[in-house]
Amino acid sequence: MAWEAVIGLEAHAQLSTRSKIFSGASTAFGAAPNTRASAVDIALPGVLPSMNKGALERAIRFGLAVGGKINRRSVFARKNYFYPDLPKGYQISQYEIPVVQGGEVAIQSPTRGDVRVRLTRAHLEEDAGKSLHEDFHGMTGIDLNRAGTPLLEIVSEPDLRSAEEAVAYAKTLHALVRWIGICDGNMQEGSFRVDANVSVRQGGDPKLGTRCEIKNLNSFRFLQHALAFEIRRQIALIEDGGAVEQETRLYDPERDETRPMRTKEDAQDYRYFPDPDLPPLVVEEAWIERIRAEMPELPAAKQQRYVSELLLSRSEAAGLTATDALAHTFEDAVRAGAEPKQAANWVLGEFSAAVNKAGIDSGDVPVSGAELGALLARIRDGTISGKIAKEVFDAMWAGEGSADAIIDQRGLRQISDAGAIENVVEKVLAANAATVAEYKSGKDKAFNALVGKVMAVTRGKANPAQVNAILRRKLVDA
Amino acid sequence: MIARSIAELGRALATKRLSSVELTTALLDRIEAIDPRLNAFLARDRERSLAEARAADAQRAAGRATPLTGIPVAHKDVLMTAGWKTTCGSRMLEGFVAPYSAFVVERLALAGMVLVGKTNMDEFAMGSSTENSYFGPARNPWNLDCVPGGSSGGSAAAVAAGLVPAATGTDTGGSIRQPAALSGVCGIKPTYGACSRYGLVAFASSLDTPGAFARDAEGCALLLNAMAGHDPRDSTSLNRPVEDYSRLLAAAAGAKPLAGLRVGLPREYFGPGVDPEVAAAVQAAVRELEKLGASAVEVTLPKVELAVPVYYVIAPAEASSNLARFDGVRYGHRAARYADLTDMYKKTRSQGFGAEVKRRILVGTYVLSHGYYDAYYLKAQQVRRLIAEGFKRAYRDCDVIAGPTSPTPAFPIGAKADDPVQMYLNDIFTVAGNLTGAPAISIPCGFDRTGLPIGLQIQGDAFAESVILNVAHRYQQATDWHTREPEPVFDREIQSL
């Protein structure tokens, strides 16, 4: 029997509100320590939390996007524990009644194909501050800028079966929260981080093994490596006759291993109870409907539409919906007159290559979807060839103007005048008698050489289809 | 002059017979002379108070006076007061200067009141005697060997001794009404949420209620007018139209101003646990209300006998969490020497908190613990709802509920210090008002044979502040208990004004 891993993820998505979840302080990243912490965030005596509606709205958007149940009434609870970067001595979170329950995320598993990952819940909570152990000899620095930052904790069921599948789920979830505009997804800044629960069992065994939790994985690579290590560790442990102990572990990227942080015995009693400072969050049906109406078309729905209506392949559709910026570029290009298949090729090819090369975010590029579409429309209507279009695209990227302006300025308009092409063809045939002879003796390659000559004379502007047709006709005559 | 009511002082200020600077100076002198024996104040700042008095006089001269402009006030030390030491009666916050003001502090300052000091209290508002103050007990002006009640004992004693005509308090289980009764002044706890809790250092968040002390109901109404109002910073703050709590008091009334009013007398409030002299004074007060046109009806309050146990589960549970922020990390006391983080927490909190606070943190931590939560905290919340339903049913048969505020008059300092349960039973008639959130007022209704004041509690349904204030006011128009002063306790010569 083969070993099988059973994995569930808890993802923490930092919600993209401008102010904190319970105070008016800014959530901007990178400020000097403790300059983004208000009286509420540092928990001065007497201060009280007041709910940021924007955080709740974003949680509802998520619930709608995954088809979960939006609880009309959810409750904030206090999770009590002492730590220097937890200013109140408790974290405000949701415990018994979260804002979102259930729902699912469809992923492409590298091993199992289409997999629907069920979600347990998604709940709102505040982040803690940061303890800085370096730079302070024998002491710890506390930075409370992050304290009170709104988080949505998204808890999956243990539906994932390999490290690769967990990464596929995490990436899909990461794309989704960005897609619906609730999280900037910046993993370096900790805006999206993951805890993984993992156990192993013999394939087919309905019983779950003892699990370990790996905390705070802030890159897909770390997630992959930590899970791969942990799965190996647990299998080796059991095969050596040992048993997995339930514990919380930390991943050390430098040594590429997980290490125990605390065991079940030191598990704290958080003494959860409903926060008396915050009345239950009541969500009106009408508000949910307003949010639903404002929801963007989701990646899965777009993919389906691209395949059925625009006749793209599954992989093209998946590629175009990797981010909402890419999908928008594609759709704007089609709207501006590009042929869909060609637009897909360009967006995933030239355009993405240029974005990657420039190292910029695909939402922040010098050529918009509509501008790209205007360029591709010129291929479609025969004004330029695909090859010339690449030259025009580079010029557009360099900021030289619109497709039409560049085509005119550089005189790139395709020669579609049959008479003009015939003239050139005749001259080329006359000047290249040897090649013509080769062609006649059955060397097909000679034909391409003659096309090349014609294109060279016209500096690439001759309509390639016309050149082919005229050349074939003239060669019969020659 | 000094011990006069807010309304009287307001009239004297309005007609320029008195300036706020004169009044404030006189009171500051009196506080300086008398307070060493009362220990009602924890902080004073003469220059600041006089500057505020001058500003109030200028405000009046500019024609922008409110009914409270220029009237001196003292704040319970649990209310954050910008630039003032705010200690909550605890070593934990000894020397802590508040960087912002509580909502009610801000409101009264905006109304033009002059702050003369911060008042003594049981540590973090936990207690019924003000003996739990780290800065020593406050004393009862009627008998300096007795407690003034608590936890807002400093405020009650200061008003009773004529050191200030108005003071704020907070009431979590009776902490305004019980000291008002024991010190012989008026104290009102409005509906939960009527006054924002922002800046009130939390003891038990679902019960904590800012309120006020004055010599009469009219003064309480004036203070409440300024203190109440919606505050978006407190999510439990009520968002209701602004109400004039004085409106019924001003209405003309004949010989039977309380005609049609049904006064409910709960069987449970007149049992054997009540001191006979207290019972007699309260019954006499009820007869007085009947003379004014009210009719007395017997009502019953099911499960109200569980109010104290329910309270002593919920309040410590919330306190155990609320007081976790006092960890020595960011402000307040921190142990001078410690081995590591855990040791720092242990030493800091062991040194910073007094015995009663520790007792409640322990109880609260216990009742919230895994495996005990359902049996204690959840069960207490269920009984809390039953008690509230019982009151709701009682209010079908009556408009207000009357009874003793406290089962006994003031007791000697130290008498109950070693018996927390006896101390907790002081709150037996007041805690229900916090569990239901409904308003209640305590007013003087007589004295026992040793000269200690007795308080009458008038409770109303949620938002019925103006009704209970009106009942209290009509009673005070017909009686003079509230005008009695404990002057003989103090040397004649210091009564300067």
Could you tell me the residue ranges of all domains in chain A?
Answer: 3-286, 297-409, 418-477
Contact between residue A66 and residue A119 where contact means Cβ atoms under 8 Å apart: yes
pLDDT value at B219 more than 60: yes
CB-based contact B236 A80, cutoff 8 Å:
no
Taking the Cβ of residue A47 and every Cβ of chain B, the question of whether any pair is shorter than 8 Å is answered with: yes
Q: Return d(Cα B122, Cα B157) in angstroms, integer.
A: 13
Written as six digits, the tokens of A125 are: 């909570």
Taking the Cβ of residue A34 and every Cβ of chain B, the question of whether any pair is shorter than 8 Å is answered with: no
CB-based contact A50 B233, cutoff 8 Å:
yes
Other beta carbons less than 10 A from residue B475's beta carbon: 26
Q: Return d(Cα B48, Cα B63) in angstroms, integer.
A: 23
Above pLDDT 70, what percent of chain B?
97
pLDDT at A1: 65
Q: Return d(Cα B326, Cα B334) in angstroms, integer.
A: 9
Q: Return d(Cα B368, Cα B320) in angstroms, integer.
A: 9
How confident is the model over B436-484, as pLDDT tens digits?
A: 999 999 999 999 999 999 999 999 999 999 999 999 999 999 999 999 9
Average per-residue pLDDT in chain B? 95
Chain A contact probe: residue of B88, B325, B342, B365 with most A CBs at under 10 A = B325
pLDDT value at B497 more than 60: no
Q: Return d(Cα B135, Cα B80) in angstroms, integer.
A: 18
What is the domain-level CATH number for residue B225? 3.90.1300.10
Chain B contact probe: residue of A48, A83, A96, A132 with most B CBs at under 10 A = A48
User: B262-266 and B295-299: which strand pairing?
Assistant: parallel
pLDDT at A106: 92
CB contacts of A45 in chain B (<8 Å) are 80, 86, 88, 93, 96, 98, 201-202, 325-326
pLDDT at A216: 87
Taking the Cβ of residue B345 and every Cβ of chain A, the question of whether any pair is shorter than 8 Å is answered with: yes
CB-based contact B321 A277, cutoff 8 Å:
no
Q: Return d(Cα A375, Cα A383) in angstroms, integer.
A: 10
B319 domain-assigned: no
Other beta carbons less than 10 A from residue B216's beta carbon: 26
pLDDT at A478: 65
DSSP B438-460: --EEEEEEEE-TTS-EEEEEEEE
Q: Return d(Cα B41, Cα B433) in angstroms, integer.
A: 28
pLDDT at B255: 87
Q: Return d(Cα A146, Cα A143) in angstroms, integer.
A: 7
User: A130-132 and A141-143: which strand pairing?
Assistant: antiparallel
pLDDT value at B243 more than 80: yes
Q: Return d(Cα A372, Cα A159) in angstroms, integer.
A: 41
Is the torsion defined by CA of A153, A157, A159, A160 positive or negative?
A: positive
Q: Return d(Cα B103, Cα B469) in angstroms, integer.
A: 23
pLDDT value at B134 more than 60: yes
Q: Return d(Cα B107, Cα B196) in angstroms, integer.
A: 10
CB contacts of B202 in chain A (<8 Å) are 45-46, 277
CB-based contact B318 A271, cutoff 8 Å:
no
Contact between residue B78 and residue B200 where contact means Cβ atoms under 8 Å apart: yes
Which CATH code is given to the segment(s) A418-477?
1.10.10.410
Q: Is B85 a catalytic residue?
A: no
Q: Return d(Cα A380, Cα A339) in angstroms, integer.
A: 7
Tokens 């007699």, residue located: B280
A286 closest CA partner among A70, A58, A21: A70
pTM for the whole thing? 0.90
User: In the beta sheet, which residues pair with residue B73?
Assistant: B115
pLDDT value at B366 more than 50: yes
User: B166-171 and B209-214: which strand pairing?
Assistant: antiparallel
B175, B196, B406, B466: the active-site residue: B175
B5, B19, B76, B237: the active-site residue: B76
CA distances from B396 to B299, B300, B401 (A): 10, 11, 11
CA distance A201 to chain B (A): 30
CB contacts of B98 in chain A (<8 Å) are 45-46
CB-based contact A50 B79, cutoff 8 Å:
no
Q: What share of chain A is helix, strand, coil (3-state, %, to 5)?
A: 40, 20, 40
CB contacts of B333 in chain A (<8 Å) are none
Chain B contact probe: residue of A52, A76, A88, A271 with most B CBs at under 10 A = A271
Q: Return d(Cα A323, Cα A321) in angstroms, integer.
A: 5
Q: Which residues numbered 70-99 in A keep a CB inside 8 Å of some CB on B? A: 78, 80, 82, 84, 87-90
CB contacts of A87 in chain B (<8 Å) are 325, 329-330
CB-based contact A269 B197, cutoff 8 Å:
no
Radius of gyration of chain A (CA): 30
CB-based contact A46 B321, cutoff 8 Å:
no
B90 closest CA partner among B132, B39, B62, B59: B132
Question: In this complex, which of A47, A49, A269 lies closest to B369 when CB atoms are compared?
Answer: A269
B195 domain-assigned: yes
User: B262-266 and B400-404: which strand pairing?
Assistant: parallel
Taking the Cβ of residue B94 and every Cβ of chain A, the question of whether any pair is shorter than 8 Å is answered with: no
How confident is the model over B280-306, as pLDDT tens digits?
A: 999 999 999 999 999 999 999 999 999
How many residue pairs bridge chain A and chain B with CB atoms within 8 Å of each other? 94
Q: Return d(Cα B310, Cα B317) in angstroms, integer.
A: 11
Taking the Cβ of residue B367 and every Cβ of chain A, the question of whether any pair is shorter than 8 Å is answered with: no
Q: What value does the mean pLDDT take over residues B152-176?
A: 97
Alpha-carbon torsion, ordered A325, A327, A328, A331, to 10 deg = 160
pLDDT at B495: 46
B29 closest CA partner among B116, B108, B115, B113: B116
Q: Return d(Cα B87, Cα B94) in angstroms, integer.
A: 5
Q: Is B205 a catalytic residue?
A: no
CA distances from B68 to A214, B170, B442, B486 (A): 61, 20, 22, 25
Contact between residue B141 and residue B161 where contact means Cβ atoms under 8 Å apart: yes
Q: Return d(Cα B413, Cα B494) in angstroms, integer.
A: 25
CA distance A91 to chain B (A): 10
Count of domains for chain B = 1
CA distance B262 to chain A (A): 34
CB-based contact A84 B327, cutoff 8 Å:
yes
B432 closest CA partner among B108, B171, B142: B171
Question: In this complex, which of A46, A51, A272 lies closest to B200 when CB atoms are compared?
Answer: A46
Written as six digits, the tokens of A117 are: 């990952």
pLDDT at B491: 52
Q: Return d(Cα A467, Cα A471) in angstroms, integer.
A: 6
Tokens 């017997």, residue located: B298
B293 domain-assigned: no
Taking the Cβ of residue B325 and every Cβ of chain A, the question of whether any pair is shorter than 8 Å is answered with: yes
Taking the Cβ of residue B198 and every Cβ of chain A, the question of whether any pair is shorter than 8 Å is answered with: yes
How confident is the model over B226-239, as pLDDT tens digits?
A: 999 999 999 999 99
Residue-range definition of the domain harbouring residue B89:
6-263+396-494
CA distance A84 to chain B (A): 6
CB contacts of A78 in chain B (<8 Å) are 321
Taking the Cβ of residue B286 and every Cβ of chain A, the question of whether any pair is shorter than 8 Å is answered with: no
Taking the Cβ of residue B372 and every Cβ of chain A, the question of whether any pair is shorter than 8 Å is answered with: no
What 3-state DSSP class applies to B294? coil
Helix or strand (DSSP H, E) at B266 = strand B262-266
Q: Which one-letter DSSP state was computed for residue B334?
A: -
CB-based contact B329 A279, cutoff 8 Å:
no
CA distance A22 to chain B (A): 9
How confident is the model over B45-102, as pLDDT tens digits?
A: 999 999 999 999 999 999 999 999 999 999 999 999 999 999 999 999 999 999 999 9
Taking the Cβ of residue A44 and every Cβ of chain B, the question of whether any pair is shorter than 8 Å is answered with: yes
pLDDT value at B492 more than 50: no
Taking the Cβ of residue B375 and every Cβ of chain A, the question of whether any pair is shorter than 8 Å is answered with: no
Cα B27 to its chain centre, rounded Å, is 21
What 3-state DSSP class applies to B197? coil
CA distances from B271 to A464, B274, B419 (A): 108, 6, 22
Taking the Cβ of residue A271 and every Cβ of chain B, the question of whether any pair is shorter than 8 Å is answered with: yes
Q: Which parts of A53-191 are beta strand (E)?
A: 69-70, 73-74, 76-80, 90-94, 100-101, 104-109, 113-126, 130-132, 141-143, 150-156
**What is chain A's pLDDT, residue by residue, as a tens digit (478 residues)?**
699 999 999 999 999 999 999 999 999 988 999 999 999 999 999 999 999 999 999 999 999 999 999 999 999 999 999 999 999 999 999 999 999 999 999 998 999 988 999 999 999 999 999 998 877 887 889 999 999 999 999 999 999 999 999 999 999 999 999 999 999 999 999 999 999 999 999 988 889 999 999 998 999 999 999 999 999 999 999 999 999 999 999 999 999 999 998 877 677 899 999 999 999 999 999 999 999 999 999 998 999 999 999 999 988 998 999 888 899 999 999 999 999 999 999 999 999 999 988 888 766 789 999 999 999 999 888 888 888 899 999 999 999 999 999 988 888 887 777 888 888 888 888 888 888 888 888 888 888 888 888 888 888 888 888 888 888 888 887 6
Q: Return d(Cα A40, Cα A19) in angstroms, integer.
A: 12
CB contacts of A89 in chain B (<8 Å) are 321, 323-325, 327
Alpha-carbon torsion, ordered B74, B75, B76, B81, to 10 deg = -140
CB contacts of B105 in chain A (<8 Å) are none
Taking the Cβ of residue A277 and every Cβ of chain B, the question of whether any pair is shorter than 8 Å is answered with: yes
CB-based contact B80 A45, cutoff 8 Å:
yes
Q: Return d(Cα B249, Cα B241) in angstroms, integer.
A: 19
Other beta carbons less than 10 A from residue B48's beta carbon: 15
pLDDT at A237: 95
Q: Is B496 a catalytic residue?
A: no
